[in-house]
Amino acid sequence: MNREYDTIRAEDRGAGLVLLILNRPQVANALNTRMGRDLLAFFDAVNAAPAAIRSIVLTGAGERAFCAGGDLKERNGMTDEEWQDQHLLFERMVRAFIACPAPVIGAVNGAAYAGGCELALCCDFIYAAESARFALTEVTLGIMPGAGGTQSLPRAVGERRAKEIILTGRPFTAAEAHGWGMVNRVCAPGKVVEEALETARQIADNAPISVRQAKHAIHFGLQMDLASGMMLEIEAYNRMIPTADRREGIASFNEKRKPRFQGR
């Protein structure tokens, strides 16, 4: 990714791997209008050229926070119309994020509150530092989760747990999130980005069309009945039969060497 952004950093780590950093550490990486636009532009670019990136790690700048949620100082004094316009931008950004064809791993390095927690939940899976904390605090502010939280959290932790988390607004730990199935791995201090990048590299080394098709089948298949999901899986599978990568994978296995996938 060659584009420069004001509030995020997209670092090319080679071989199709990008480290995406929420970069407002002076305000705990709070999500303001500019960050919403930057994230929308980033994911729109990825979605428009799906072969360019093979995997993404999303984290926050600094040690203190992944993302503290919406920037309430910016929102202070907004008219109803201005608030609604900003939220429409955030809605578009979240839809572009969730539509991303490349797998996105959340590397939650600190507080992920409100909209920050929702950004983490947009990721395909989450690694969290031991010190990370999560919360959906919107009901304590007279609003409610509006960036996918009421939909993504129940899918991760179940309806009853999600209701407790959202309706109380209480923070919870990385260990609790792991126990509930929201977080895949809890990492030692200072290791979360490193471990997420290691997994992202493993994903990036695999056949990119296969990875994209498998992600697509999992995500949309869970929204269908089993028979429809099985049909979707076969359609995704058949997309790979005529590819050079499928032939390369079988050849490399028989020749006892590492495959060289080209995404074709």
Tell me the pLDDT tens digit for each residue of 130-147: 999 999 999 999 999 999
Tens of pLDDT, residue by residue over 168-178, are: 999 999 999 99
DSSP readout, 91-144? HHHHHHHHT-SS-EEEEE-SEEETHHHHHHHHSSEEEEETT-EEE--GGGGT--
Tens of pLDDT, residue by residue over 186-242, are: 999 999 999 999 999 999 999 999 999 999 999 999 999 999 999 999 999 999 999
**Residue-level pLDDT at 97:** 98
- Give the E-state strand segments of the chain in sequence order: 8-12, 17-22, 55-60, 65-67, 104-108, 111-113, 125-129, 133-135, 172-173, 185-187
β-strand pairing of 125-129 with 104-108? parallel
**Residue-level pLDDT at 99:** 96
- How far apart CA 92 and CA 238 sit, in angstroms, is 31
Quickly state the pLDDT bin for 1 (edges 50, 70, 90). Answer: low
Answer for the pair 71, 27: CB distance below 8 angstroms, yes or no: yes
Give me the half-sphere count of Cα atoms (radius 13 Å) on the Cβ side of residue 190.
0
Give CA 8 to chain center in angstroms.
14
Domains of the chain listed by start with CATH number = 8-204 (3.90.226.10), 206-254 (1.10.12.10)
The residue among 204, 218, 214, 262 whose CA lies nearest residue 239 is: 214
**Residue-level pLDDT at 263:** 85
Q: Could you give phi then psi for residue 215, rounded to 5 degrees?
A: -60, -45
Q: E strand or H helix at 151, and its extent?
A: helix 149-157
* Mean pLDDT within 236-264: 92
The residue among 135, 218, 209, 124 whose CA lies nearest residue 176 is: 135
**Residue-level pLDDT at 16:** 94
- Copy the structure tokens of residue 191: 């290791």
- The answer on pLDDT for 77 being more than 60 is yes
**Residue-level pLDDT at 63:** 84
Roughly what angle, to the nearest 10 degrees, separates helices 149-157 and 115-122? 60
Q: E strand or H helix at 150, and its extent?
A: helix 149-157
- The answer on pLDDT for 96 being more than 60 is yes
Summary mean pLDDT of the chain: 95
Single pTM value for the model? 0.93
Answer for the pair 23, 9: CB distance below 8 angstroms, yes or no: yes
The residue among 81, 80, 77, 64 whose CA lies nearest residue 30 is: 64
**Residue-level pLDDT at 46:** 96
- The answer on pLDDT for 33 being more than 90 is yes
- The answer on pLDDT for 2 being more than 70 is no
